[in-house]
Structure 1
Amino acid sequence: MFANFFKKRRIKQYARKLPAELTALYGKQPYYSKGQVDRALTRQRLNRSNNGTISDNCYAYAMYCSPQEFQRIHDEAGESCHYDTLRTEIAETCFSSTSDFSFTDVDAYATESSSSADSSSGDSGGGDGGGGGD
């Protein structure tokens, strides 16, 4: 129960925080390398591979790396994650659509999340505290 909550929370953090960081560091690209994603993860304090495994960052790699780069990452690490399965989970969490999303879609999600957080932060009408702090 809690594992699913934390997984979705992590996916949303990757989708909200990394597009701006990747764009600032490397410009808008359809895909990024593992090193580029790792640097963005570290700068946003989202890098969870301190123990040397890559599995903690699999969702970020599936979100921002090409299928070939994703496979190379996992082949070199001797781990197996399925790109399409992870992208389906990401799409269900962020886009309510198929796994055929692009960096542009993730960037739009981040912008929309940022805009809704900004507009709700100035609201003094109570509310439930909606999506902030994920």
Structure 2
Amino acid sequence: MQFSTFALTLSLLASPHPHSLDAAAFPVTFVTGSTKVSFRDLTVSFGVVASDSANATNIFGTPLVNVDLVSLGKSDTGPGSFEVSVPITQAQLSSGPGSYVLTAAVVRAVGNPGSYVWRADQFTIPFTASFAE
């Protein structure tokens, strides 16, 4: 099984090259801004949904993995980028080969103890999945 991206949204970038899902990893690159920010919480929940079901803005799809960027040492951001691998199996692509959307819900908190400010944003990465015979 392979997948390839054909579009991207906002600051989540996916590799434009096909990847075998035998490796069970979809590389997602986060491009961070020019100002250094120390997040108290920075978590990304990834999901996947068939493209024909993804037209609503609140569709998350099948949950894949939660990534705690604080525990990975990626919560102090500044200029640059970093990559995380999102596992996807053929079973999670329930519509078979075709167009899908990788969804990401990014939750973060900044500020001082007792006065943290929380924010959540969603991002999407369309991709095409094909299964090797």
TM-score range, shorter chain: under 0.3
Query: What TM-score comes out, normalization by structure 2 length?
Result: 0.23
